[in-house]
């Protein structure tokens, strides 16, 4: 009996030890699973935070893009309205020029008639003065018309750029000719002796040549009354540009 009791106690102790070991393994497993869940939760939270930040950035970029589109549309509308107004003004000047020309021709006809009929020098003098006044008016209108024509060309160029036509090129007067007066080889820019008065437009491209040979192509960046500054275009510098080189339009207007 004593031996059996001892054996039973030992067996119970062994079973208890085995149960403790199994429980410990389960606890360790649960702890490991808990740590894994916690790690996954942390990663998920980090991903969620990143997604929120990306969403906020995307929303801001969308708002900025919409504002830029609105501004561009407003600028295009303003440019279109200005171009229409300038065109109307040019048409009005053409009408005035036609009338002034008719008045001058009528005055010259009257002068010839008076001479033929033997009118007094005083009367003829008045007619001569009238003709001179009409001619002065015609010259003034012609000068203003030239200015308006250049203004319309600049604004049409700006309008085409606002419309976003990537293939658009600025066309310059076919008879435009000029010379290089200053060269900066360090920054690859030149100063030309032609400007707004001669019909130069910003972003217009000009071919630089010497003795009939192409040297480079330049693009106009700033325009003043009778001169402009242009940059030598990358890939188009076929030789050194010198003062006195000739320039002509790369894209002449027809």
Using pLDDT thresholds of 50, 70 and 90, give the confidence band for residue 20: low
Domain boundary among 135, 150, 168: 168
Cα–Cα distances in angstroms (integers) from residue 31 to residues 19, 23, 40, in the given order: 18, 12, 14
Looking at the whole model, is its pTM more than 0.85?
no
Q: Residue 190: give its domain's CATH number.
A: 2.40.10
Domain boundary among 168, 190, 210: 168
Q: Could you tell me the CA-to-CA distances from 203 to 71, 96, 230 in Å, in that order?
A: 22, 33, 9
Q: How many folded domains does the chain comprise?
A: 2
In a domain, 148, yes or no: yes
Q: Both 74 and 199 in a single domain?
A: no
pLDDT given for residue 163 in this prediction: 64
What is the average per-residue pLDDT within 40-63? 78
CA 115 to chain centre: 61
In a domain, 18, yes or no: yes
* Residue 232 CA to its chain's centroid (Å): 19
The residue segments making up the domain with residue 1 are 1-168
Better-scored residue on pLDDT, 241 or 116: 241
In this structure, the answer to whether residues 76 and 197 fall within a common structural domain is no
Cα 16 to chain centroid distance, Å, stands at 86
């Amino acid at each position: 009996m004593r031996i059996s009791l001892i054996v039973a106690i030992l067996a119970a102790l062994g079973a208890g030890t085995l149960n403790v070991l199994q429980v410990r393994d389960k606890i360790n497993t649960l702890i490991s699973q808990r740590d894994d869940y916690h790690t996954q939760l942390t990663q998920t939270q980090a991903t969620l935070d990143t997604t929120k930040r990306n969403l906020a950035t995307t929303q801001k970029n969308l708002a900025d893009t919409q504002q830029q589109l609105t501004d561009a549309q407003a600028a295009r509308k303003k440019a279109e309205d200005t171009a229409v107004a300038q065109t109307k003004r040019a048409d009005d000047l053409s009408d005035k020029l036609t009338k002034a020309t008719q008045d001058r021709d009528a005055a010259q006809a009257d002068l010839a008639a008076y001479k033929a009929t033997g009118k007094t020098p005083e009367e003829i003098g008045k007619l001569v003065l009238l003709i001179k006044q009409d001619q002065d008016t015609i010259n003034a209108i012609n000068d203003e018309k030239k200015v308006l024509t250049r203004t319309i060309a600049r604004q049409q160029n700006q309008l085409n750029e606002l419309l976003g036509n990537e293939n658009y090129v600025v066309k310059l007067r076919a008879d435009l000719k000029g010379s290089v007066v200053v060269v900066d080889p360090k920054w690859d820019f030149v100063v030309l002796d032609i400007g707004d008065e001669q019909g130069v437009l910003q972003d217009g491209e000009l071919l630089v040549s010497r003795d009939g040979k192409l040297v480079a192509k330049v693009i106009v960046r700033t325009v003043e009354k009778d001169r402009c500054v242009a940059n030598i275009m990358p890939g188009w510098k076929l030789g050194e540009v010198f003062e006195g080189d000739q320039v002509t339009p790369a894209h002449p207007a027809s």
